[in-house]
C-alpha cells in the first residue's frame, strides 16, 4: 500500500510537469528556428513538446494567444502588419518598440532578436533577369505586360504583400497572379511555368536554383527581424526557459540563416541534425 | 461580389471533378477488366493504383510541375492528380464485379457461341455493373472533397476560398468554400443513387 501511494505521488509529480510547447510556421526556416528553440530549451533541462509546421502566422498567433503554444519564432514586420493590423513602417527601431509594447499588453514577450532580417524578396530566374535587364523591383515595369506571377495565398491577401507593392511601385501587371502553395512556387519558377515569385531573402534555394532576388529600391517591405515570441508565464513550466531563450540573442546573421536553410532545402538534410550541428559550434 | 466568387469557384470545381472522373472511368474500367483476367499482371496493376493513393498531394504536384504536357501549374495538373486519385475505387470495383460473375453464366455464354467481345459486353459487364457504378460513386464523392487541393497549384475551384480563408484566419471564407463542396458531394451522391437504381432494376 505504501509503495502504491508512493507510485501515485511520483506519477502526480510527473503529470504536473507540463512540457513547453514550441511551434513553428509551415516553411523550412520556421521549422529550423522552432527546432533551435526546442533544442536550446532541452539543453536547459526543460521538457519540450514540438508542434512544428503549423498553418502560418495567424494560426501560430491564435495558438500562442490561447495558451496552446508557449513559444515560436515570428518576424517583426509580420507581427506589426498581419497580426497587430498596424500600418507598415520602415523604421526598424520603431517597429521593434511598437511590437514589443503591443505584445506585452497581450501577455506575450517579444524577443530576443535572433540577429537576421528575413524580408520578402521578389525572385526571378537569373536568365530572365539578364534577358530583360532586371535588377530592382522598379525594373518590373519593363516586363509588366508579359510577366507571369505565382504567389502563396498569404502574400496575395496581406496588406503588406502584393496589393501594397503594386501601389507603391506603380505597377500595372497585365495578368493576375496565380495563387498556389508557397512551397510549389519555387518549383514552378525553376520549371519556367512562372517568372516572378515572392519568396524570402534568406531562402537557401535562391542560390542553389540559379535565381536572383530583386532589390527593394523604394524600401517598400518593412523589416522582418526574427525574434522569439514567448508567453510571459513560460518560466512556470520550466524555470530555466527565459534564460535559455535569452541566450539566443543575435546568434544568427543573414548569411548563417541562408546557409542553414540550404542545408535543409538544398542538401535535404534533417532539420534536427542541422540545428544540433549549429549549436555545437 | 462574394456570391459571384462562390459561383465561379463552384463552377470550376464541378468542371475539375467532372473531367477527372470521366477520364478516370475511361482508364479505370478497361484497366479493371484487363486486371480481372490476368491474375499476376492484374495484381501488380492494382498495387500500383494502391500506391498512388498514398502519395501526398503536394508531393505529387511537385513531381508533376516539371513534366511537359500533363504537368505545369493550373487546372490541368490538378485534373491529372485527381484522375490518379480517382482510379483506385473504379479499378478495384471493376475487378470485383468481373471476378464475381458466376463461371456457369460465363460458360453458358460460351456454349451459345458468344465471341469474347460479346461475352464481355453482353454478359460480364452488365452483371458487374452494380459494383462498377458503386466504385464510380465512391470516386465521384471523394473527388469532390479532394479537388480542393487544386488551389495549391493555381487550379481554381472551391479550395481557393478555403486556402485564402486559412491564410487569413477568415472563418467565413473557409465556410464559403467548404459548404458548397459538401452540398456538391450530397448532390452527386443522390444522382449516383438514382443511376444505380435504374441500372439494377
Task: Identify the CATH assignment for A120-214 out of 3.90.470.20, 3.40.50.2000, 3.30.230.10, 3.40.190.120.
Answer: 3.40.190.120
pLDDT, tens digit, for every residue of A175-194?
999 999 888 899 899 999 99
Q: Which residues of A touch B64 (CB under 8 A)?
A: none
Domains observed in chain B: 2-200 (1.10.3720.10)
Q: Which residues of A touch B74 (CB under 8 A)?
A: 178
Compute the half-sphere exposure of residue B79: CA atoms within 13 Å on the CB side of its CA: 18
Residue A191 to residue B65, Cβ atoms within 8 A: yes
pLDDT, tens digit, for every residue of A113-164?
999 999 889 999 999 999 999 999 999 999 999 999 999 988 998 877 899 9
pLDDT score recorded for residue B1: 66
The whole-chain average pLDDT of chain A stands at: 90
Residues B154, B73 contacting (CB under 8 angstroms) = yes
Backbone angles phi, psi at A212, to 5 degrees: -130, 145
What number is the ipTM of this complex? 0.70
B60 in A contact zone (CB under 8 Å):
no
Backbone angles phi, psi at A225, to 5 degrees: -75, 130
- Which one of B152, B168, B169 has the shortest CB-CB distance to A184? B152
How many Cβ atoms from other residues are within 10 Å of residue A277's Cβ? 12
Whether residue B86 has pLDDT greater than 80: yes
- Domain limits, chain A: 18-118+224-280, 120-214
Q: How far is CA B47 from CA A70, A192, B35, B38, B85, in A?
A: 44, 34, 11, 14, 13
Termini Cα distance of chain A? 51
Q: Which residues of B touch A184 (CB under 8 A)?
A: 58, 61-62, 65, 73, 152-153
- Which one of B74, B153, B169 has the shortest CB-CB distance to A58? B169
Whether residue B26 has pLDDT greater than 50: yes
Closest B-chain CA to A61:
B169
Residue B65 to residue A184, Cβ atoms within 8 A: yes
Q: Which residues of B touch A183 (CB under 8 A)?
A: 58, 62
Distance from CA of A279 to the nearest CA of B (A): 31
Are both A18-118+224-280 and A120-214 of the same fold?
yes
Residues A228, A245 contacting (CB under 8 angstroms) = yes
DSSP string of B155-186, one letter each residue: --STHHHHHHHHHHT-HHHHHHHHHHHHHHHH
**Joined grid coordinates for residue A147:** 510577366
Superfamily of domain A18-118+224-280: Periplasmic binding protein-like II (3.40.190.10)
pLDDT, tens digit, for every residue of A217-270?
998 988 999 999 999 999 999 999 999 999 999 999 988 998 999 999 888 899
Residue A153 to residue B164, Cβ atoms within 8 A: yes
The whole-angstrom separation of Cα A265 and Cα B95 is 42
Distance from CA of B167 to the nearest CA of A (A): 5
Distance from CA of B59 to the nearest CA of A (A): 9
- Which one of A58, A179, A184 has the shortest CB-CB distance to B160? A179
Amino acid at each position: 500500500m505504501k509503495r502504491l501511494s508512493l507510485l501515485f505521488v511520483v506519477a502526480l509529480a510527473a503529470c504536473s510537469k507540463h512540457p513547453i510547447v514550441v511551434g513553428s510556421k509551415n516553411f523550412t526556416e520556421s521549422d529550423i528556428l522552432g527546432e533551435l528553440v526546442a533544442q536550446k530549451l532541452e539543453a536547459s533541462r526543460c521538457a519540450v513538446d514540438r508542434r512544428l509546421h503549423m498553418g502560418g502566422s495567424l494560426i501560430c498567433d491564435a495558438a500562442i494567444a490561447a495558451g496552446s503554444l508557449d513559444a515560436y519564432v515570428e518576424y517583426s514586420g509580420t507581427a506589426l502588419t498581419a497580426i497587430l493590423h498596424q500600418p507598415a513602417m520602415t523604421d526598424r527601431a520603431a517597429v521593434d518598440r511598437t511590437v514589443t509594447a503591443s505584445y506585452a499588453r497581450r501577455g506575450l514577450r517579444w524577443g530576443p532578436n535572433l540577429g537576421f532580417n528575413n524580408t520578402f524578396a521578389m525572385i526571378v530566374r537569373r536568365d530572365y533577369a539578364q534577358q530583360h535587364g532586371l535588377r530592382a523591383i522598379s525594373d518590373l515595369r519593363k516586363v509588366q505586360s508579359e510577366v507571369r506571377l505565382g504567389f502563396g495565398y498569404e502574400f496575395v491577401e496581406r496588406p503588406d504583400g502584393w496589393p501594397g507593392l503594386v501601389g507603391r511601385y506603380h505597377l500595372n501587371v497585365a495578368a493576375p497572379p496565380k495563387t498556389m502553395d508557397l512551397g510549389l512556387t519555387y518549383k514552378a519558377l525553376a520549371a519556367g511555368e512562372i517568372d516572378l515569385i515572392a519568396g524570402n531573402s534568406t531562402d537557401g534555394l535562391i542560390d542553389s536554383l540559379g535565381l536572383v532576388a530583386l532589390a527593394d529600391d523604394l524600401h517598400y517591405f518593412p523589416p522582418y527581424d526574427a525574434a522569439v515570441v514567448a508567453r510571459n508565464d513560460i518560466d512556470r513550466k520550466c524555470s530555466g526557459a527565459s534564460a535559455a531563450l535569452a541566450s539566443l540573442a543575435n546568434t544568427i546573421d543573414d548569411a548563417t540563416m541562408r546557409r542553414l536553410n540550404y542545408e535543409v532545402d538544398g542538401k535535404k538534410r534533417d532539420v534536427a541534425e542541422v540545428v544540433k550541428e549549429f549549436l555545437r559550434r | 461580389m462574394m456570391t459571384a466568387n462562390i459561383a465561379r469557384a463552384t463552377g470550376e470545381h464541378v468542371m475539375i471533378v467532372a473531367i477527372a472522373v470521366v477520364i478516370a472511368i475511361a482508364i479505370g474500367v478497361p484497366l479493371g477488366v484487363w486486371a480481372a483476367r490476368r491474375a499476376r499482371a492484374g495484381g501488380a496493376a492494382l498495387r500500383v493504383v494502391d500506391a498512388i493513393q498514398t502519395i501526398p498531394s503536394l508531393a505529387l504536384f511537385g513531381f508533376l510541375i516539371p513534366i511537359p504536357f500533363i504537368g505545369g501549374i493550373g487546372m490541368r495538373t490538378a485534373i491529372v492528380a485527381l484522375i490518379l486519385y480517382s482510379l483506385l475505387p473504379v479499378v478495384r470495383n471493376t475487378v470485383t464485379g468481373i471476378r464475381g460473375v458466376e463461371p456457369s453464366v460465363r460458360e453458358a455464354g460460351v456454349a451459345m457461341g458468344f465471341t469474347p467481345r460479346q461475352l464481355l459486353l453482353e454478359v460480364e459487364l452488365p452483371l458487374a455493373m452494380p459494383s462498377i457504378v458503386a466504385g464510380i460513386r465512391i470516386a465521384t464523392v471523394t473527388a469532390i472533397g479532394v479537388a480542393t487541393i487544386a488551389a495549391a497549384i493555381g487550379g481554381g475551384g472551391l479550395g481557393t476560398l478555403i486556402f485564402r480563408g486559412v491564410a487569413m484566419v477568415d472563418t467565413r471564407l473557409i465556410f464559403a468554400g467548404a459548404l458548397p463542396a459538401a452540398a456538391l458531394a450530397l448532390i452527386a451522391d443522390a444522382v449516383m443513387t438514382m443511376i444505380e437504381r435504374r441500372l439494377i432494376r
